[in-house]
Amino acid sequence: MISPLPDLASGLPRASVIIPAYNAARTLPATLAALRAQTIPAAHLEVIVVDDGSTDATAAVAAAAGVRVVRRANGGPAAARNAGTDRARGEIVLFTDADCVPAPGWVAAMLAPFRDPAVVGVKGAYRTHQRSLVARFAQIEFLDRYARQARQPTIDLVGSYAAAFRRATFQAAGGYDTRFPVANNEDVELSYRLADRGARLVFAPQAIVYHTHAATLGRYLRVKVSRGYWRILVYRRYPHKALRDSYTPQVLKAQVALVGALAGCAGPALIWPPLRPLCAALAAGLLASTLPFTAFAARYDPLVAGCAPVLVIGRALALGLGSAAALVGLGPGLRRR
């Protein structure tokens, strides 16, 4: 039987940080160094790296850093996180990724909300040091979503890049759904599942991890196609969340619908002129829908704000393409149980 971590006088719950890692030997050292630099006492925290069938030196890098290493055949990050949780000794399990670098106060900020016994899960926040235009746009996207969640006393989406749960509740709920083969929306599915069971999930904006976002337009759009695809598979289980959740702006759903309608209208309008006014109205509506985000972006980065309408429309198109692929049954789909 694994002995529990020592109880300290800080009043913070005992914690285990779990990092799923697949061929992460290049990025993992920075993650582990950041966890060694946390502001809470080292004896209060354990770090577990789950080597998910890597073919590089991931396990050796983790072992050299002196953290616990769990080795398993490749099964995807959802399964890896669950395996780490099964071996964790902390009352609270925290998750981050092997390409994230937590700020020194990350663990303390993640644990603080658990002083309220009603809190079951906590979500932290992304930041980036990147200067590429697309990465800056992606970061402002996150800031926009965070501003939305910060206004709500409870949320229903906890991203796995900076997540914490009471271990007993996490395991009682079944953990992450291992049928998700990649790191994409498995955290959304778990969040919706917990929220539907009445779990209180909260946002901790000061719990920051640094990340490298997609830096090129092509890479960014591919990410959004993938996000759209997997989100539809989640919505099939939780159709009420397609109408509203704590994270997704309603205007984004309208933009996806508008860009789809415009794409469907544009071709026929070339040969049937009466459709052209409709296409013009759709285009005007789509452009107008980008103005709130453009104004938000202008508060942080005027250059990003100037490019925002084009990037927002491209995002809507990519999400729509991914969603359409899921709706017609293309793509890998969920694994069988």
In DSSP notation, 213-263 reads ---SHHHHHHHHHHHHHHHHHHHHH-HHHHH--SSS-HHHHHHHHHHHHHH
Reference 215, options 130, 325, 111, 335; nearest CA is 130
CA distance 124 to 96: 10
Give the end of a domain, one of 175, 199, 215.
215
Report yes or no on 5 lying in a domain. Answer: no
Q: Is the separation of the CB atoms in 294 and 308 below 8 Å? A: yes
Report yes or no on 81 lying in a domain. Answer: yes
182 and 266 co-located in one domain:
no
Report yes or no on 6 lying in a domain. Answer: no
243 and 162 co-located in one domain:
no
Q: What is the reported pLDDT for 91? A: 96
99 and 238 co-located in one domain:
no
Q: What is the reported pLDDT for 11? A: 67
Give the end of a domain, one of 164, 198, 215.
215
Q: What is the reported pLDDT for 6? A: 40
Report yes or no on 10 lying in a domain. Answer: no
pTM: 0.94
190 and 274 co-located in one domain:
no
Q: What is the reported pLDDT for 337? A: 72
Q: Is the separation of the CB atoms in 148 and 191 below 8 Å? A: no
What is the pLDDT tens value at each position of the chain, 337 positions in all?
344 444 433 567 789 999 999 999 999 999 999 999 999 998 889 999 999 999 999 999 999 999 999 999 999 999 999 999 999 999 999 999 999 999 999 999 999 999 999 999 999 999 999 999 999 999 999 999 999 999 999 999 999 999 999 999 999 999 999 999 999 999 999 999 999 999 999 999 999 999 999 999 999 999 999 999 999 999 999 999 999 999 999 999 999 999 999 999 999 999 999 999 999 999 999 999 999 999 999 999 999 999 999 999 999 999 999 999 999 999 999 988 7
Q: What is the reported pLDDT for 255? A: 98
